[in-house]
Amino acid sequence: MKNRQHSKEPRIFIDSRGRWFHNGVRITHRWTYLENNKNLDVDSDGRFFVEEKGSRVYVECEDTPFVVTMVTKTEDGFSIRLNDESLEKLDLTTLNIAKQNVPYVKVKKGRFTARLLRPAYYEFMKYADKDGKGFYVEVEGKKHYLDDPEQGQ
């Protein structure tokens, strides 16, 4: 049985726009970038990591490892595209507008949180309306209210 080494010092960094860096150098090779995103996992302490050649390599994140790059209105709600090029249905029940009006949503079957990049957020907000209770998005006749950014969740 191989002796697995675990490096606890992050040498991989993900910035707030979902860009990966290895020892300070941006990862621009598409396959490497997508493979890292695909293999990203989280341990019981909430630390992100990828398995690399039998070793666990920890990943430091400036904010979230995944970001929403695009929001598209669909017949039954919204579809989102993530920085790993995957598509998911937007789960409006997980949408959270945090401090400084930064929107977050759960992705990857609820395992990760993703930040909506500004262009995606602006596109999404085109479909928002406001009434006496606040801002909401209506999907299939149901109003989904957005969190008040002043609450700072």
pLDDT digits (tens, 9 = 90+) for 11-44: 899 999 999 999 999 999 999 999 999 999 999 9
Structure tokens at 143: 């109003």
pLDDT in tens, 79-90: 999 999 999 999
Yes or no: say if 16 and 66 are a contact pair by the CB < 8 Å rule: no
Q: What is the pLDDT of residue 46?
A: 92
Percentage of residues in the chain with pLDDT exceeding 70? 89
Which residues, listed in sequence order, are joined to residue 22 by a DSSP beta bridge? 12, 25
Task: Evaluate if residue 8 carries a pLDDT over 60.
Answer: no
- Backbone dihedral angles phi then psi of residue 120, each to the nearest 5 degrees: -70, -40
Domains of the chain by residue range: 6-61, 66-130
CATH number of 66-130: 2.30.270.10
Specify the amino acid at residue 78.
Answer: F
**CATH 3.40.50.300, domain 6-61, yes or no:** no
Q: What is the pLDDT of residue 99?
A: 81
- For 105, residues 6+ apart whose C-beta sits below 8 A from its C-beta are 68, 80, 90, 91, 94, 95, 96, 113, 114, 116
Share the mean pLDDT of the chain: 88
Q: Do domains 6-61 and 66-130 have the same CATH topology?
A: no
Q: What is the pLDDT of residue 147?
A: 67
According to DSSP, the β-strands at 66-74 and 142-145 are unpaired
